[in-house]
Structure 1
Amino acid sequence: MQIRVETPKDYPAIADLLLAAFEQGDEARLVEKIRLSDRYIPELALVAEKEGVVVGHILFSYIDLVGAETLPVLGLAPLAVHPQYQRQGIGSALVQAGMAKAEERGEAIAIVLGHPPFYSRFGFEPSVAYGIESPFPVSAEFFMVTFLQPKRQGYAGKVIYPSAFEGL
């Protein structure tokens, strides 16, 4: 398996993958909207490829943390693995590769709304423990944060997702 940055040539395969993984088109539309926005980070849009076939995708893009000041932070959404390739470590490999690239870029934190047993393996913890509030009415354990750099001060407030996420 190879993990690499997505290219425009991959877009149709990624859309098909997202449709297969989520069984509806919201995530594919979300990715398209993010790509067209100023929140898109090309280096943090990765695909997993097996024998030339895109089998997984992860996207980190900028969201806002609004507290004493507004800080751009990473939001991890979506992460998808084609159903035929799930439970083979592809999702984990994508998260690890994405977080390593984010760290290299000097990004401070990443936030995810997701499954705690999966994301906690990568250092994600409930964000409320750090004074980071979800904009969604979800149980605290599902809205998580991980720190990519040692500095943890100043990262508190309410998360605001950009307009690309509206309607999801």
Structure 2
Amino acid sequence: MIRRELPDDAEAIRAVTAAAFRGIEHSAPPVEPGGDPGEATLVSWLRADGGWIPQLSLVAVEDNRVIGHVLATRAHVDGRPALGLGPVSVDPQRQRAGVGTALMHAVLGAADALGESLIALVGEPAFYGRFGFAPASPLGITAPDPSWGDYFQVRTLTQYDGRTGRFTYAAPFDRLS
């Protein structure tokens, strides 16, 4: 089942996120030496940020246990509202079973229902292309870091208005090194 995050889910989300990103080559480094991958801490920072959108923090639950999480937060394209997607986390024992796909479809549908215009992420083009994501630069949207190249992707939603410019994530993303 996919549902909105509840206050009691925070620790389970942290655990799933840490497990999902532990040992991943491009994972953010731990904030504290020997700690969880940076993505686990990032979720906590985002939850405390003004860019937090509770309707776009979704969990996958199986047998009353959180097995996945997806999050979209307020971002901007040249000062105009947009969304930044991520992290997306699935318990390693449940990966490749459709949980991540279900979470992606749910968050994209929820963002569209909220009247958002576009959502951006950094990820593998071959994977995220199946959800309608495409490299951002052909749409005139510039990545926060040009070295991301085609890994910086956007998905336009129903209310997309052709906006172009520099994309900025919610401020906590800048705290990751």
TM-score where L is the length of structure 2: 0.88
Deviation at 1:113, TM superposition (A): 0.5
**AA paired with 2:63?**
E
2:127 match: 118
**1:104-144 Cα shifts (integer Å, max 9, x gaps):** 11011000101111110010000001000101243422000
Please tell me whether residue 37 in structure 1 is matched to residue 45 in structure 2. no
Deviation at 1:167, TM superposition (A): 3.3
Tell me, what secondary structure is at the counterpart of 2:83? strand
Tell me, what secondary structure is at the counterpart of 2:115? coil
Partners of 2:84 and 2:119 within 8 A in 1: yes
2:13 match: 14
Please tell me whether residue 28 in structure 1 is matched to residue 40 in structure 2. yes
- For residues 128 and 147 of structure 2, what CA distance do their matches in structure 1 show? 16
* Structure 1 segment 72-151 matched on structure 2, within 5 A: 72-149=81-158, 151=160
1:164 match: 172
**Greater strand content:** 1
Tell me, what secondary structure is at the counterpart of 2:96? coil
- For residues 112 and 33 of structure 1, what CA distance do their matches in structure 2 show? 18
Identity of aligned residues (%): 39
TM-score where L is the length of structure 1: 0.93
**1:134-166 Cα shifts (integer Å, max 9, x gaps):** 01243422000011115432x111112232112
- For residues 29 and 114 of structure 1, what CA distance do their matches in structure 2 show? 19
Structure-2 change in CA distance of 1:165 and 1:139 (3 Å):
closer
Q: Unaligned 5+ residue runs, structure 2? A: 23-35
Please tell me whether residue 63 in structure 1 is matched to residue 75 in structure 2. yes
Q: What is the number of residues matched between the two proteins?
A: 163
* Structure 1 segment 44-59 matched on structure 2, within 5 A: 44-59=56-71
- For residues 5 and 168 of structure 2, what CA distance do their matches in structure 1 show? 26
